[in-house]
Amino acid sequence: MAKENINQHHNEDYEYDTLTNDKLIKDHDYDGIRELDNDLPPWWKWLFYITIIFSIVYCIRLFVFHSDDLVQDREYEKAMVEAEMNKPVQSEAIEFKLVLLEDETSIASGKETWDKICAVCHLVDGGGLVGPNMTDNYWIHGNTVEDMFNIITTGVIEKGMIPYKDQLSEQKRLEVISFILVKLQGTSPATPKAPEGTEY
Amino acid sequence: MQLEKFTYDNRLTKMFLFATVLWGVVGMLVGLTAAFELIFPNMSGGISWLSFGRLRPLHTNAAIFAFVGNGIFLAVYYSTPRLLKTPMFSKALGNIHFWGWQLIILLAAITFPLGLTQSKEYAELIWPIDVLVVIIWVVFGLNLIMTLVKRRTKHIYVAIWFYIATWVTIAVLYIVNNLQIPTSFLHSYPIYAGVQDALVQWWYGHNAVAFFLTTPILGIMYYFIPKASNRPIYSYKLSIIHFWSLIFLYIWAGPHHLLYSALPDWVQALGVVFSIMLIAPSWGGMINGLLTLRGAWDKVREDPVLKMFVVGVTAYGMATFEGPMLALKTVNALSHFTDWTIAHVHIGTLGWNAMLNFGMIYWLVPRLFKTKLWSVKLANTHFWIATLGMLFFSIPLYFAGFTQALMWKQFTEEGYLAYPNFLETVTQILPMYYLRAFGGSLYFIGAILFVVNVWKTAKSGSFVRYEEDQAPAKPAPKAGEGWHRKLEGRPLQFTVVALVVILIGGLIEIVPMYLVKSNVPTISSVQPYTPLELEGRDIYVREGCYLCHSQMIRPFRDEVERYGDYTKAGETVYDHPSQYGSKRTGPDLAREGVKTLPNYKPDSWHYNHMIDPQKLNAESIMPPYPWLANRDLDVSTLESKISVLEGLGVPYDDYLKGQDPTEHLNIQAAKIAEGLRAGGIQVDDNKEIIAIIAYLQRLGNDIYNE
């Protein structure tokens, strides 16, 4: 009902709110609280309808069409296939060589990996805690770049050293080895762990 | 018309009011302490009962059941008699209700710091206290329903509809989620396990939000906004539609807490769509609250009570839009397990729940004490500090959640995780934790101003214990009423209809999880925990490890890369209760024990890390657990635990093959301790830390043994 007609259509079921001219419902009075007879706002009704339509479509897509983005296992498989396809092809031009790196950038990058990952067991200063001391001259599995690369790549599970082949690229593994050999070896850590392995 | 005279007794209203104020401050203070512990992990000083894992349940339970809970009862005991034109049915029941509830809170405040918990979020209370809660809840319901029966008004107002829905639904939720078998006076195992337990838990957890933090607060809104503004409710029709749609739809939405988990797709989908359909019913409440203030906006500018109501209802609107968005799988893939969720719930609690409590109390105290509010200016200051505090709390956490989720998911060009060390992603967002603690401090300062104002106001007046009122006796039913109007005149039928409406969703989601075997596919290699691992698991529960570490790897490339194969439903069939968790402040532990995975750590690492986490990770925010290395493992209830689990379907008889559980435990413990001693660690076989290491090293292994 348009507002200007309100006064001509006075109906005995209704009184009117003086501030908004909206209809008050007559016998609705609870401890002085009155209620207006306003309709549901149309935009609100539409919002409700749209969410219901969304839900029906969603269920049909899942239960009838088994859409890839709603079936959890398929969504996962798809993501994994995509990742596999996007894997960079190992460029043959820059062949990876297992030789000690001594340039500052590589050493700095190696230190970053050391601090983030290796230090958890070997401590930041290399003194060792759960893992062996990396500053002394004693080695359990050899001290050549190749020996160390193998250990980092495949791990020594029974001692708690996990393989890092899935976490660190070959380059990163080599950098951290270089950091150990160039920077950590021969330093004096705060709390050195007793030597383990054989002296080289 | 003959008017009958009667008297309202304000005594219980006053008692609930002071309890609300007191527990509000306590709950916030514990929360603030927990927030600081996340920045200063050594703050607890190695004292077990001050550690984050034990304080966090205390914070959530105090905020929900003590602060908001007492506020709800305050509103019910004040508004119900006035809306029904009759005093509350029984003063004795009212007293039992009040003192019983405060006793429950006190017991919670003692048991949580002691580590006595079920580990179900917001249902952590141990079984004897659960029984007490149920008794007191029944006392409350009896008092409410008998008042309805004795009413003088023909119809019941919308606020009362919401009180009724609250009472019946919380009763159902609480009882079903807390079904458990005691192993001793202080410990029990839930009858549900793994993914089924997680479903029941989040059906409860989500609806604790719905029926403890929403419906009763809407009741408060429907009574106190029109009272404080002296304006009529915007739309009666909207009240009807949004009430029924809200209570019907809400109960289905729980599974959105388990998106991308091992819960079957169909249950997850119901969680998604019912959350989306909740937007309009929730906003119906917001609209009815805000539009009631049409014609009174000039008052809103001056009156701190109305200001708080407006911000509170607006926060409700924001949270109930955000919630459904977080229930969309694409958004949830980012938000879940991060601080985003923490920000979201605090918009609801600091904004909606607390603001309505504050506004209601600022309005009520002068009326109960027949005086004026001591300082309107101070109340306005409280309003601004609280609003700012809420923003400082939540905005940094939104940023933190988003940042961390993107870091977790990022890969380098070569296909490696960009941040393989979880800790890096924590260090990155730590400044946001500082800001959150600052926001929380602001909010707390506001609460102190509130206490001062309430206290001074009460002291400046004198308590009005009895208020006279009069009304005609209940009129006979009128012919020609619509069906809903008829229902409003029959509160008992109303209660039954509400019960039926809220049962539908829960039944459809939960029952098939038990009856249809394909929902939890069996994995033959999954075995029960050994006795030592079981004791270790109970320590894991006791310390609240699940509050910071999930055990639920989602089927995402980054999570499988970081943590190992995603979690299967069949893996957790012996997990009473489920330890899926809901937040990753630290890394997921579902496959912590699998030696071939990136997260594996040797026993000695765990030992050192429990005692002094920062020794191994200088930037770690994990608190120390030195007491685990000092305390002897208590195996006095081991046999009882094993027999309860056997009764619940965990095949211990087959597994132990007649071996004495304690003997089995001792052998395994000796082996682990020996290994530690060989590595130079001085530890006895019978320490608690041995059990928790055994448990951690077992995690996630079974499916690799096929």
Task: Give yes or no for B224 touching A (CB within 8 A).
Answer: no
Is B77 part of a structural domain of the chain? yes
- Please give the distance of CA A148 from its chain centroid, rounded to a whole number: 30
Which band of pLDDT confidence, cut at 50, 70 and 90, is reported for residue B479?
confident
Closest CB to B279 among A28, A51, A121:
A51
Task: Classify A138 as helix, strand or coil.
Answer: strand
Same domain, B555 and B493: no
Q: Which helix (H) or strand (E) holds B182?
A: strand B180-182
Q: Count other C-beta atoms under 10 Å from residue B500's C-beta.
A: 11
Q: Count other C-beta atoms under 10 Å from residue B431's C-beta.
A: 13
Report pLDDT digits (tens) over A9-66: 445 667 899 999 999 998 899 999 999 999 999 999 999 999 999 999 999 999 999 9
A33·B233 Cβ contact <8 A? yes
Tell me how far CA of residue A196 lies from CA of A43, A73, A138, B512, B679, in angstroms.
Answer: 75, 47, 6, 58, 11
Task: Give yes or no for B86 touching A (CB within 8 A).
Answer: no
- Please give the distance of CA B652 from its chain centroid, rounded to a whole number: 33
Closest approach of A198 to chain B, Cα-based (Å): 18
Closest CB to B269 among A31, A38, A62:
A62
Report pLDDT digits (tens) over A179-189: 999 999 989 99
Q: Which helix (H) or strand (E) holds B668?
A: helix B661-678
Model pLDDT, residue A93:
56
Q: Report the candidate in B380, B323, B310 with the shortest Cα–Cα distance to residue B351.
A: B310
Tell me the residue type at B383.
F
Q: Which two tokens stand for residue B625?
A: 């657990």
Residues A140-160 have a mean pLDDT of 87
Whether the pLDDT of residue B200 is over 90: the answer is yes
Q: Which two tokens stand for residue B405?
A: 């989720």
Residues recorded for chain B: 706
Q: Report the candidate in B453, B426, B485 with the shortest Cα–Cα distance to residue B365.
A: B453
Hey, where are the domains in chain A?
3-36, 42-85, 104-199
CA distance B258 to B121: 14
Same domain, B450 and B566: no
Is B397 part of a structural domain of the chain? yes
Q: Give the CA count within 13 Å in the CB-facing half-sphere of B214.
A: 31
Q: Which helix (H) or strand (E) holds B407?
A: helix B376-409
B421·A116 Cβ contact <8 A? yes
pTM over the 0.90 mark: yes
Is B599 part of a structural domain of the chain? yes
Same domain, B32 and B144: yes
**Cis amide leading into B226 (omega within 30):** no
Choose the weakest-confidence range: A137-141, B119-123, B555-559: A137-141
Q: Which two tokens stand for residue B301?
A: 């500018």
Closest-CA residue of A relative to B242 is: A40
Same domain, B316 and B192: yes
Closest approach of B562 to chain A, Cα-based (Å): 8
CA distance B462 to B371: 8
Residues recorded for chain A: 200
Same domain, B476 and B593: no
Model pLDDT, residue B652:
96
Residues A77, A143 contacting (CB under 8 angstroms): no
A19·B279 Cβ contact <8 A? no
Same domain, B497 and B551: no
- Please count the structural domains in chain B: 2
Is B160 part of a structural domain of the chain? yes
Residues B628, B697 contacting (CB under 8 angstroms): no
Same domain, B458 and B547: no
Q: How many CB pairs lie under 8 A apart between chains A and B?
A: 177
Model pLDDT, residue B162:
98
Residues A187, A125 contacting (CB under 8 angstroms): yes
Closest approach of A72 to chain B, Cα-based (Å): 7
User: Strand pairing partners for B190?
Assistant: B180
Choose the weakest-confidence range: B477-486, B526-535, B550-559: B477-486
Residues B177, B237 contacting (CB under 8 angstroms): no
The residues in B 398-417 lying below 8 A from A, measured between CB atoms, are 411-417
Model pLDDT, residue B516:
81
Is B519 part of a structural domain of the chain? no
Model pLDDT, residue A166:
81
For residue B673, the enclosing domain spans 531-705
Tell me how far CA of residue A164 lies from CA of A157, B395, B415, in angstroms.
Answer: 11, 37, 14
The residues in B 146-165 lying below 8 A from A, measured between CB atoms, are 153, 155, 157
Q: Report the candidate in B169, B697, B101 with the shortest Cα–Cα distance to residue B109.
A: B101
Whether the pLDDT of residue B346 is over 80: the answer is yes
Closest CB to B272 among A25, A58, A159:
A58
Same domain, B421 and B548: no
Closest-CA residue of A relative to B557 is: A80
Model pLDDT, residue A13:
65
Closest approach of B427 to chain A, Cα-based (Å): 11
CA distance B587 to B425: 10
CATH number, position B334: 1.20.210.10
Q: Give the CA count within 13 Å in the CB-facing half-sphere of B272.
A: 23
Model pLDDT, residue A11:
56
CA distance B666 to B687: 11
Which band of pLDDT confidence, cut at 50, 70 and 90, is reported for residue B199?
very high
Report pLDDT digits (tens) over A77-135: 999 999 988 877 765 556 778 888 889 999 999 999 998 888 888 999 999 888 899 99
CATH number, position B626: 1.10.760.10
A51·B277 Cβ contact <8 A? yes
Residues B288, B235 contacting (CB under 8 angstroms): yes
Q: Which helix (H) or strand (E) holds B4?
A: strand B3-9
Is B523 part of a structural domain of the chain? no
Q: Give the CA count within 13 Å in the CB-facing half-sphere of B303.
A: 19
Cite the DSSP H helix spans in B479-617: 483-488, 491-515, 531-542, 557-563, 603-611, 613-616
ipTM at complex level: 0.93
CA distance B22 to B212: 19
Residues A160, A130 contacting (CB under 8 angstroms): yes
Which band of pLDDT confidence, cut at 50, 70 and 90, is reported for residue B1?
confident
CA distance B398 to B400: 5
Tell me the residue type at B32.
L
Residues A74, A68 contacting (CB under 8 angstroms): yes
Whether the pLDDT of residue B99 is over 70: the answer is yes
> For residue B233, which phi and psi values (nearest 5 degrees)?
-60, 135
Report pLDDT digits (tens) over B542-557: 999 999 999 999 999 9
Task: Give yes or no for B244 touching A (CB within 8 A).
Answer: no
Matching residue, tokens 């309202």: B8
Q: Report the candidate in A90, A14, A191, A136 with the shortest Cα–Cα distance to residue B616.
A: A191
Same domain, B570 and B440: no
Model pLDDT, residue A2:
43
Tell me how far CA of residue B212 lies from CA of B61, B130, B205, B308, B495, in angstroms.
Answer: 12, 16, 10, 20, 17
Tell me how far CA of residue B37 lies from CA of B30, B53, B428, in angstroms.
Answer: 10, 10, 17
**B674-687 exposure pattern, b = at least 16 Cβ within 10 A, e = fewer:** eebeebebebebbb
Closest-CA residue of B relative to A68 is: B265
CA distance B288 to B433: 36
Whether the pLDDT of residue A6 is over 50: the answer is no
- Please give the distance of CA A9 from its chain centroid, rounded to a whole number: 64
CA distance B527 to B650: 9
Task: Give yes or no for B515 touching A (CB within 8 A).
Answer: no
CA distance B311 to B437: 22
Closest-CA residue of A relative to B567 is: A73
Which band of pLDDT confidence, cut at 50, 70 and 90, is reported for residue A154?
confident
Closest CB to B277 among A52, A73, A119:
A52
Mean pLDDT of the residues in chain B: 96
Closest approach of A78 to chain B, Cα-based (Å): 10
CA distance B199 to B264: 11
Same domain, B241 and B316: yes
Q: Which two tokens stand for residue A85?
A: 């396809």
Is B522 part of a structural domain of the chain? no
Q: Which two tokens stand for residue A180?
A: 């150990």
Model pLDDT, residue B267:
95
Q: Which helix (H) or strand (E) holds B472?
A: strand B466-472
Same domain, B474 and B589: no
Q: Count other C-beta atoms under 10 Å from residue B241's C-beta.
A: 19
Same domain, B552 and B499: no
CA distance B594 to B602: 10
- CATH numeric code, A104-199: 1.10.760.10
> For residue A183, which phi and psi values (nearest 5 degrees)?
-100, -40
Residues B63, B31 contacting (CB under 8 angstroms): yes
Residues B264, B340 contacting (CB under 8 angstroms): no
CA distance A197 to A7: 101
Distance between start and end Cα atoms, chain A:
98
CA distance A82 to B556: 12
CA distance A40 to B430: 46
